[in-house]
Amino acid sequence: MRTFTKFSLRFGVYLLVLAYVAGDLFVFDGPLKKQIGSKDPNSAEAIAEAKANGVVARVFNRQITRSQLDYAINEHLWTSGRSISDIINPEEKTLLTYAALGELIDHELLRVKVKVNTAELPVSKQEVDARLKTFIGKFESRHAIETAMISQGIPNEESLRNRIAARIQQEKYIALRVDPLVAVTEEEVQNFFEAHKPELVVPERVMAQHIFISTLNTPSPIAKQRLETALAALETGETDFSTMALELSEDTATNENQGNLGWMSKERLPSDFGEQLFALGVNKPTLIRTKIGWHLAILKERKNSRILTLDEAREKITEALISAKRHKAVMDFKRALRKFEEHKIDIFHDQLVAY
């Protein structure tokens, strides 16, 4: 009898606890429900907190912030020679905002996929070094690099290298899935040639040499003064261009080759350098200022543009067709991935109104 009484009391306590929990969760909105809700990333409280912290979207609960979006927008505009102040039309600004956000979402989705397939996607130190060099070349000073890194939450160069490696892995992941789908036939090449013959030209080209001093580590006035001194030495015949290129130029890709750039078309050069270089007269060494530093350049020879033959154009046409097909395949792949994982993507559209 005593055992039965103890069991009844214990059972009664269990019922009371269950009743309390049920009431807390489903009736009274009590402290237990609030505590559980606070840990739920999809709760009203968690979403409100995320928005207050500048979050504009989440992918697999990984946050995309307003500062990341701002940087992505500015980087996109920078590559086309514009800035956010140039965008006056609200519709264009909205399209640009969602395009940049889409790229950030794709990046996060691919980050998850790459993590599962890391063993298939090795990245060498040389690949990271080359991409890092390209990245640094976009900035005119160390301060500009550090500012860009801070805006993206990158504390040091090691973290930057890790991000670069991750981006290369994403590119390789996409390539594994889309490259087998891309192929071009001879018929497509010939049809393209006939349809675009007037556009298929060898552009105007120049043979040039340059001596380059970066303003990344050398103040602009000092860099300019060094090249003005070099120009004066050239004009008096104290030295020759090739010797000075070897001694002064910071362009490691060309200085040991006497600063020789080879035959270059304007489209292969940064616009701020190409426009000024192609405007030079032959054998007239001139100082040129660009975003990344000072150049002492001399144009050695010029060749006018001409129309290509099919044999000359075949490789270029094939590359263009492959590039177009690959671009479409990549876009289709990203759209399919985003559609497949859409239940893991949250976009806070009200946070984008300010854009």
- 11 to each of 22, 52, 242, 261, how far by Cα in Å? 16, 46, 96, 88
In a domain, 95, yes or no: no
- 344 to each of 46, 108, 167, 297, 339, how far by Cα in Å? 16, 11, 21, 53, 10
Residue 42 has pLDDT above 90, yes or no: no
- CATH code assigned at 239: 3.10.50.40
DSSP string, 189-233: HHHHHHHHGGG-EE--EEEEEEEEEETTTS-HHHHHHHHHHHHHH
Distance CA 253, CA 287 (A): 20
Average pLDDT for 42-64: 90
φ, ψ for residue 346 (rounded to 5)? -120, 125
In a domain, 156, yes or no: no
DSSP string, 165-194: HHHHHHHHHHHHHHGGG----HHHHHHHHH
Residue 1 has pLDDT above 90, yes or no: no
DSSP string, 291-313: TTEEEEEEEEEEE--EEPPHHHH
Q: Using alpha carbons only, give the angle 145, 147, 152 rounded to the nearest 5 degrees.
A: 95
Predicted confidence (pLDDT) per residue in 186-237, tens digit: 999 999 999 998 889 888 999 999 999 999 889 999 999 999 999 999 999 8
Say if residues 229 and 219 touch (Cβ distance below 8 Å): no
Q: Are strands 293-303 and 205-214 parallel, antiparallel or unpaired?
A: antiparallel
Distance CA 52, CA 270 (A): 41
Q: How many CB atoms lie within 10 A of CB 307?
A: 12
DSSP 347: E
Q: Are strands 306-307 and 345-347 parallel, antiparallel or unpaired?
A: unpaired
In a domain, 261, yes or no: yes
In a domain, 248, yes or no: yes
Residue 4 has pLDDT above 50, yes or no: no
Question: Who wins on pLDDT, 32 or 198?
Answer: 198
Number of domains in the chain: 1
In a domain, 289, yes or no: yes
* β-sheet bridge partners, residue 265: 205
Between 5-9, 66-70, 175-179, 196-200, the lowest mean confidence (pLDDT) is in: 5-9
In a domain, 275, yes or no: yes
In a domain, 92, yes or no: no
Average pLDDT for 57-63: 93
pTM above 0.75, yes or no: no
Contacts 24+ apart (CB under 8 A), 233-239: 234/285, 235/285
Label residue 99 by pLDDT band (50, 70, 90).
very high
Average pLDDT for 180-187: 92
Give the helix/strand (H/E) hosting 69: helix 66-79
Predicted confidence (pLDDT) per residue in 237-284, tens digit: 899 999 999 999 999 889 888 899 999 999 889 999 999 999 999 999
In a domain, 139, yes or no: no
Predicted confidence (pLDDT) per residue in 12-23, tens digit: 556 555 655 455
Question: Who wins on pLDDT, 25 or 203?
Answer: 203
Question: Who wins on pLDDT, 118 or 182?
Answer: 182
Whose CA is closest to 76, among 105, 102, 100? 100
Range of the domain at 233: 201-307
